[in-house]
Structures are given as C-alpha cells and as structure tokens.
Amino acid sequence: MRPTLLAIAMAAVLAPGLRGAHAFGHGGPGGCMGRRAGMGMGDGAGMLPLPLLLSVMTPDQRAQVGELMKAEKPAMRSLVDKMRTAHEELADRVFASGKLTAADLDPQVKKMAALRDQLVHQALATTLKVRELLTPEQLAEAAKKKNRLRELGQEMRSLLPEPEGDPSE
C-alpha cells in the first residue's frame, strides 16, 4: 500500500508543474485548465499515469515501484524545492517596490521554464521505468482504463451547460 501512496503523493506534487506535459496528459474532468485547454490527451490538466499503472500491477510489481520511487525521491525533491524557490523569487520581484517590466523578469521566467522542463523529463524517465515493469496484458488493461476514464470525463462535461461569458476567453 505504501508504494501506491508514494506514487499518488508524487503525482500530486508534480502535477501542477506538469500542465501541458503531453507525455502525462489525461483529460480528466475538473482539471484546473478548464474545458478548452486542449492539453495532452484531452481537455484539462495533465496528470501522471502512475496511479493508473499501479492499478493493474501485482503486489510484487508495486514493491518494485516502491523501491524505484525511493531511489528517485531525492532528485525529484531537489527539483521541486528549486521550483518552489524560483516561484518565491519571482513573487518577491513582482511585489518589490519600483518599476518592473516583463524584460526584468525574463531571466527568472527562463530559469523556471528550465526547471519545469527538468521536472518533466525526470518524471517521464520515472514513468517509463514503471511502465517497463508491466506485461503487455497489463499495459493493455491500463490503456482500457485510461480510455474509459477519458470517456467518463467527456460524459461528465457533456452534462454541464456551456458557461456563458467564459472568463478564460
């Protein structure tokens, strides 16, 4: 059970920084990007597929994932900490007194983009390692579940009326 919780926690920590990471896209309902985001494999925020992959694994495979996550944790934590620091530095600049232009913030934005890119690549490498543990049958079962979740998300969105005066437009 602990590897499952670790994977879910890792996904929760990483997901906000991974919006638009097509390798992890899952068009679930209620994503923070809204109905028209068009990111990844559906509308909505991307998410890591680790919980979905774990759902088709044997206990032995889950134990292997737990060991993998333990090994990956320091690198991921370091990147997440750097991202948090970069966001705080940007906020400090935005709220500091004096004139400020977009050009003044460009180096900080580039730093944040580079960290986000590193985070996506690290998460992708981890996800591929987890995927390697699956048999072809398990992978097919996970794909069926992914497709069904997508269908359910689309069905849920179809039940809601189109918002008038969408603030994102």
Q: Is residue 167 part of a domain?
A: no
Q: Is residue 165 part of a domain?
A: no
Question: Sign of torsion, CA 48 51 56 62?
Answer: positive
pLDDT digit string (tens) for the chain, length 169 residues = 555 444 544 454 444 444 333 333 333 333 333 333 333 333 333 455 888 899 999 999 999 999 999 999 999 999 999 999 999 999 999 999 999 999 999 999 999 999 999 999 998 999 999 999 999 999 999 999 999 999 999 999 999 888 777 666 5
CA distance linking residue 157 with residue 91, whole number of Å: 34
Q: Is residue 65 part of a domain?
A: yes
Q: Is residue 153 part of a domain?
A: yes
Q: Is residue 140 part of a domain?
A: yes
Q: Is residue 164 part of a domain?
A: no
pTM (two decimals): 0.62
**Domain of residue 35, residue span:** 2-159
Q: Is residue 6 part of a domain?
A: yes
Burial class of 45 by CB neighbour count within 10 A (0 to 12, 13 to 18, 19+): buried
Q: How many domains does the chain have?
A: 1
Q: Is residue 42 part of a domain?
A: yes
